[in-house]
Structure 1
Amino acid sequence: MVLTADDKSHVKHVWSVVQPHAGDIGADALTRMFAAHRTTKTYFAHFGLNPGSADIKAHGKKVAAAIGEAVAHIDNIAGALDKLSTLHAQKMRVDPVNFPLLSHCFLVSIAAHHPGLLKASTLLSMDKFLGHVGVVLTSKYR
């Protein structure tokens, strides 16, 4: 999955708009994922999973920080997320199917918080980018 120069430009633009409150979008994405895909809750049994809980907010910030790190290192996402990939694969053993679910919910949350930001080409670029992040995060499963 190759990100073109246009894709990278779109991703950086979206992130520049989203970044100031990316933690809120991350928390919203997690809340949406837990509501729509109940099996994802199994990895968070120790969390308070009510919308707006401190646990959801804290983890939403971590999700957003990881995405921000990937944006900042868009030409070397694998290097930037190497430790996170290892953590998810070897320690937490998160089912790889969950990453696309969270990516989709993150896109929905961006759209909900920023109506009109995700035009067709921008949405495609963000989808490719988040898909690439998911591939990187599951690369250590093999």
Structure 2
Amino acid sequence: MLSQAEIGIIIRMWESIAPRAEEFGAEALFRMFTTFPHTKTYFAHKDISENSPFLRSHGKNVIDAVGLGAKHFNTLTTTMAQLSAFHAYILMIDPYNFKLLSHCILVTLSSWKGDEFSPEAHAAWDKYLSALSAVLAEKYR
């Protein structure tokens, strides 16, 4: 469970990322596709090259969802229920990919935020992204 201080860290950092969600999301997704090539299989029909229009658009959608969850952390399960069902029943995404993307988001945060991405911020974001991944994977059980 996240403390109020940790939620505060996430919200403050999110506010600085939100205006650049498209760029941030594209970078995080590109990291995932590069580092974990098997995750590209779901996007074989799309242009997922670095900074492609699709990658930027989908990256924004992903990061906007991360931000929505952060703003509604206390109701994360209900906030993300529709997205969880969509990924499980329609897209049939391997739920392990949520953990891989979470890792890539952490790396991107570190790259973007430098010293602001303190050990406390890292721990808070890691806990939040782990909770988000678990919620997104709930429908697979």
> Structure 1 stretches of 5 or more lacking a match?
none
Give the structure 1 partner of residue 59 of structure 2. Answer: 60
Q: Displacement, 1:4?
A: 1.4
- List structure 1 runs of 4+ shifted beyond 4 angstroms: none
Number of residue equivalences: 141
Tell me the CA shift for residue 60 of structure 1. Answer: 0.3
- The answer to whether the 8 Å contact 2:18/2:64 transfers is no
Q: Give the Cα separation in 1 of the matches to 2:139 and 2:6.
A: 25
Distance, in Å, in 2 between the alignment partners of 1:129 and 1:51 is: 27
Provide the residue aligned with 1:71 in structure 2.
Answer: 70
Match of 2:43 in 1: 44
CA distance in 1, matches of 2:73, 2:116: 20
Greater shift in the superposed pair: 112-121 or 131-140: 112-121
Cα deviation 1:108-130 (Å, max 9, x = unaligned) = 11121221121001110000001
Q: Distance in 2 between matches of 1:128 and 1:81?
A: 16
Deviations 1:47-104 (A, max 9, x none): 1011011110010011011011101211111111110000001111100110111011
* 1:107 Cα deviation after fit: 1.2
Partner in structure 2 of residue 121 of structure 1: 120
Q: Within 2, Cα distance between the matches of 1:98 and 1:79?
A: 21
* Identical-pair percentage: 35
